[in-house]
Each structure stands twice: as structure tokens, then as C-alpha cells.
A and B are shown apart, each in its own frame.
Chain A
Amino acid sequence: MNNSVNENLRELLVGFMDEAAARQTAEDIEKGEEILGANQSPQPDERVLAEVKKNVVAALRQRRTVVFQRRILIGAVAAAVILIAVITQMHYDNLQNSRQTRIVARSVSIPSQVWEGADDADVTVLRAEIENIQSELSGAQSDSISTGGTNSAAGDLETELIEVNGDMWKG
């Protein structure tokens, strides 16, 4: 046993017992350890130590290989993540573009679909109203032509032309 470890043994023991008991205890410990020192355990064979060294070197190399493989794996995973992110982004962009196109197409196609739907009651009512307004407008126009002072000559001329035209067809 090396002396440096035992240097403060008595000083250490005094904290737990009186001086005489500490001296006796320290002596017991030292003598006991002397017995251990005098009866050394058998030494391992050099073959065993060489085997341990060989195993240690093998474990170190295996560890290095594992670390290297782990780094490659991490690199591959990182590359895969980046690739997936890029593909996802591209796919998302395409999806956005096609959605916008579809929205435009739908906004163009909606009116024709609505107006072509003759069975729709609302559309029929709307169409009837428009025709009514058109006929009222044309009626108003013809009234203004027939009653307007400044435009009467033109109206007459137009009436005459219509009559002429009718005659022409009549032969």
C-alpha cells in the first residue's frame, strides 16, 4: 500500500475517536494491509494481457467503424431530408399553380354554365325581365321618334323608307 494514502489516517480517525483509540485503529488497519501486501494475488498470464490488448484494439477499430458509419448515415439522412423538402416544395408550387389555373377556368366557365341552364327558374325569370326591359326600351325609342319635334323629319324619312322597303318586297 502506498504511504501517501495512509499519511492522514490517524488524523482522520481522531475525528471519530480519542487519540489512543485512533492510534490503535490505525495500527490495526496498517497491519491488516501489510498482510494483504505480503500475500499478493496471482498475476495474470502475459497471454491474457496480450489478449486484452488485442480485444481493446479491436473494440477501438470497431468503434471507429461505427462512428464512420454513423456519420455516413447522418449524411444520408440529411441528404434525404433535403431531397424530400425540395420535392415537397416543388410539388407544392405545382399544386398552387394548377389550383390558380383551375380557379381562373372556373370563374370563366361559371357564367356560361349559369346562362346555359335553361331549366333554372331564376335564369328564366331574369331572362324574361331583360326581354321586357328591351321591349320597353324599344317602345320608348319609337315614341320619342314619333313625338320628337326636332327628329320628326328623320322619323318621317325613316317611316317612308320602311314603306318603300315594304313596297319593294311586295313588288
Chain B
Amino acid sequence: MAQRDIEQVIIGCKKGDEGCFTQLVDIYGRRCFGYFYRLTGNRDLSEELLSELFAKLVEKIGSYRGGSFDGWVFTMASNIFHDHLRFKQRQTRLLDEHSKRIMSQSAGVSSGKNDDFDKLQMALVELDSDVRELIMMRFYSQMSFKEIAESRREPIGTTLSKVHRGLKKLRELMG
């Protein structure tokens, strides 16, 4: 979809147009689901988080003040994911353990359809949670490194370094 069309959809959403919000689900629904799925490894949970994300979008669309809409949407998605983790775990240090547990459970359930997919999902579990999230943000939001660094409030060199390290390790694991 062209940038101009997306802008029209955003304007419509700000006016509370139901059709425009439906289009927004068509544009971002699959990408955001993929983002949640790669972070949680759980289909049901990803659907739940997706639903929560769009409910939040309806609520917060008025606060969007320009800039990268992809960045705005995925920053919200990231916040929802972190809220979920906080709600479930209450302790950030258990994040890795939690993700590994969920992902390994999900791998057992969804195995058989696509071996490459399972391999990637299992390789992702081996990455540091922050790096994994950063790589997923980069891949699904299609934001530039500069935008990602700004949204994460960290130096761009740090973002580049983390992504490089993570993707290099992922290549090795997928070998």
C-alpha cells in the first residue's frame, strides 16, 4: 500500500472511521501477529496480544502526532509484549526462562508442519531476549536502525552491534 494511502487510512482512523480501522488490521495484522509469535512462540497468546494491540490502537490513535507510523505501532506492540511479561512474571530476570519454556512447549505442539520454522523458533530461543526482540522489531516493523535506536532510547551504535551479534549467532545456529 502506498504511503499516501496509509496516511489517508490514519486520518480516517483518527476520525473514528470503522472502515479505516478495518484496513489498518489488514495492513498490520499479519506483521504484528508474526512479531508476537516470534517473541512468544505461542499462537493463542499471539492472537490475544494482537487483539489487545488493536484495542490499544483504537484508544490511542488520537495521540499519534506524525513520524513513522510503523514505528509508532511496533513500539506499542513492544510495550504490550513487555506488559504481558511483567504481568506474567513480575520479574525481568525471568524473561529468558519464561520465553524458553513457552517456546519449547509451543514447539512440541506445532512440530511437523514446517521443520525450518521450528528450527528458527528454537534458534531464536537461544538468543538473548533483548537481542531477539530487537531483531524481530527490525524485521517486522521495517524501521530503519536510526528509528529503532530512537524508539529504544539507545545509541545507534549499540543497536547495530546488538543486531549484528544476534543475526550472526542466528546464522551459526541455523547453520
Contact = CB atoms under 8 A, between A and B. Distances in A.
The reply to whether chain A is a binding partner of chain B is: yes
Interface of A: 1-2, 5, 9, 12-13, 15-16, 25, 28-29, 31-33, 35-44, 48-49, 51-53, 55-57, 59-60, 63-64
Given A35-B120, A59-B59, A48 B170 contact: no
Nearest to A47: B47
B-side interface mostly? helix
B116 A52 contact: no
Contact of A44 (B29, B59, B160): B29
Contacts of B146: 12
Contacts, number: 112
A64 to B, nearest CB: 7
Contacts of B34: 40-43
A42 B112 CA distance: 13
A39 B117 contact: yes
Given A32-B168, A41-B38, A44-B33, A52 B54 contact: yes
19 contacts: A12-B145, A12-B160, A16-B160, A32-B168, A33-B139, A33-B167, A35-B170, A35-B171, A37-B139, A39-B119, A40-B34, A52-B29, A53-B22, A53-B25, A56-B57, A57-B18, A59-B55, A60-B21, A63-B16
The 4 A-B pairs of least Cβ separation, nearest first, read A32-B167, A41-B34, A39-B120, A44-B33
Given A49-B25, A52-B29, A55-B55, A41 B50 contact: no
Given A43-B30, A59-B58, 6 more contacts: A12-B145, A12-B146, A32-B170, A41-B33, A44-B33, A53-B25
B155 to A, nearest CB: 10
Nearest to A12: B145
